[in-house]
Amino acid sequence: DTEVTQTPKHLVMGMTNKKSLKCEQHMGHRAMYWYKQKAKKPPELMFVYSYEKLSINESVPSRFSPECPNSSLLNLHLHALQPEDSALYLCASSQGRRTVSYNEQFFGPGTRLTVL
């Protein structure tokens, strides 16, 4: 299984809502990532989890809260978002060691988030 799945596919939320994005992989990867992608731009890294521990937080606002319940799952909890947070949110995973494979990330299809 070489697939990363993400739910939901689309999400529309108001600025006072609380919602969560979910990501799952069964490739045995030990590194998982959240990216934000605006239209016609490359993905921007938000968070990295390595062996279920948060290893990188790219100065993301606290209204985004990541969680890694186990090695296969990654969540992104959303609260009090702003309209400018509307974007495609991508989850990815990779091998958890510093080898060439570590840099090969497998992406999910993304969640298209719209904040009203």
Instruction: Give the footprint of other proteins on this chain (CB under 8 A).
Output: 4, 6, 40-43, 45, 48, 55-56, 88, 90, 92, 100, 103-110, 112
User: Closest CB to other proteins among 82 and 104?
Assistant: 104
User: Closest CB to other proteins among 28 and 104?
Assistant: 104
In this structure, the strands spanning 111-115 and 10-13 are parallel
> CB-based contacts of 47: which residues, under 8 Å, 6+ apart?
33, 34, 54, 56, 57, 58, 60, 64, 66, 76
Least Å from the CB of residue 16 to other proteins: 27
